[in-house]
Amino acid sequence: MQKPATILDPAGEIVEKALVVFHPGPGSYTGEDVAEISCHGNPLLVDAVMGVIGATGLARTADRGEFTKRAYLSGKMDLAQAEAVGALINAESTCGIGMARSLLAGDLSRRITGLGDELLGIISGVEASFLTDDEAYDAASLSREVGAVIREIDSLLAHGDSAPKRYSGVVTTIAGLPNAGKSSLFNAILGYPRAIVHQESGTTRDIIREHLVFSGVDFLFHDTAGIRETASGPEQAGIQKTMDILRQSHLVLYVVDACRGLTREDEPWLNLGDKTIVVMNKADLLPRPSYGLQGEKVWASAKYRTGIDELMDAVADLFPLGQPGVFLGRHTFLLSRAREHLAHCLDALDDGMTPDVLVLDLRTALETLREISGDSVGRDVLDRIFSDFCIGK
């Protein structure tokens, strides 16, 4: 239900004419009765409307993430889905948006619920063996069942190192000695002249950034100043920025003049990022040009855009497409903990431990999994999760 409304201050003066929409619970976002006011976007008008509302004493400014927190507490979504709201808002990559949407749709929650049901069944069977004299647990069967749960957790944890990078975007830095052709390679990868290219060395003084989606994965490319120890002035400042971004990089494309080859000057700068691909540029100037992947290097000509497709294929191979099970740190931590308890249960089983000892690990694993969906979680954890949200979400 919606209708136009005139908002007045305590003196009866018109503050704003707005549209008010009433969302009755439990169908609203939070599950409660909610009124939504749409007014003009001028911050002064918004502050004035908020002042009028606050002066009534009937309302206050929401805490960070409070709307989503209320939705969770009222059962509109579980905790993993509530976290997905924040992940969706903060996503800076198209891949990240897809990952957050999957989490919000409950894909992870359904798999966690399934794992919990499997564990509950296993626990019931083991407990029956020491609660009654009629039942006895089968050690081999128990080992198979627990092993199946562990394999399912492993599938969720697969690509755990690359998942956060794919969510935020793969930080990719093009680096190398001056005049190796870094900016030319940058332009060739993008497909248009984004960076200035000049035969004089030291042309690039600042970092140029571009966002490129390739093979379904977001790459945040950085063209950087050429690295050399003898630089000074503005060039030295540019090199310092290069060093800073290199240490943050998930991937470094280290560009080498193919006519010179790798030299001792290059050695200090190799492998500063998580992963490195050496690009032998200007291969067209060799007596016998050769392009593409050869060993651990990619030979290319940025000038003629030869070997670029092979280079990008090599980049894509390092970050294969495929929706990872988890990408938020809390989920990864809890799944890893649950796996540890299940692995300990298998060890205890091999050691011939009694059923009551096995159940301790099984129940701890179950409670750990339930923390993901929020079925078993403390208030301090909730406060920490929602404190990362912005106001009004």
Residue 284: partners with Cβ closer than 8 Å, 6 or more residues away: 301, 303, 304, 306
Question: 281 and 213, same structural domain?
Answer: yes
Report how many domains make up the chain.
3
Average pLDDT score, the chain: 86
Q: In what order do the strands lie in the sheet with 170-176?
A: 208-214, 217-223, 170-176, 251-257, 275-281, 297-299, 292-294
Question: 150 and 180, same structural domain?
Answer: no
- For residue 270, pLDDT over 90 is answered with no
Q: Could you identify the residue written with the tokens 């190192």?
A: 161
- The 10s digit of each residue's pLDDT in 353-382 is 888 889 999 999 999 999 999 987 778 888
- Structural domain includes residue 384: no
| Residue 299: domain span | 165-318
- Structural domain includes residue 72: no
Among the candidates 289, 318, 347, a domain finishes at: 318
Rounded Cα gap, residues 110 and 131, in angstroms: 31
Q: Residue range 333-343: average pLDDT?
A: 97
- For residue 177, pLDDT over 70 is answered with yes
Question: 90 and 54, same structural domain?
Answer: no
Q: With beta carbons less than 8 A apart as the criterion, state whether 94 and 218 touch.
A: yes
Question: 170 and 314, same structural domain?
Answer: yes
CATH number at residue 269: 3.40.50.300
Rounded Cα gap, residues 206 and 86, in angstroms: 33
Q: What is the pTM of this model?
A: 0.80
Question: 217 and 196, same structural domain?
Answer: yes
- Structural domain includes residue 99: yes
Question: 334 and 310, same structural domain?
Answer: no
Using DSSP's 3-state secondary structure scheme, residue 21 falls into strand
- Structural domain includes residue 388: no
Q: With beta carbons less than 8 A apart as the criterion, state whether 29 and 76 touch.
A: yes
- For residue 325, pLDDT over 90 is answered with no
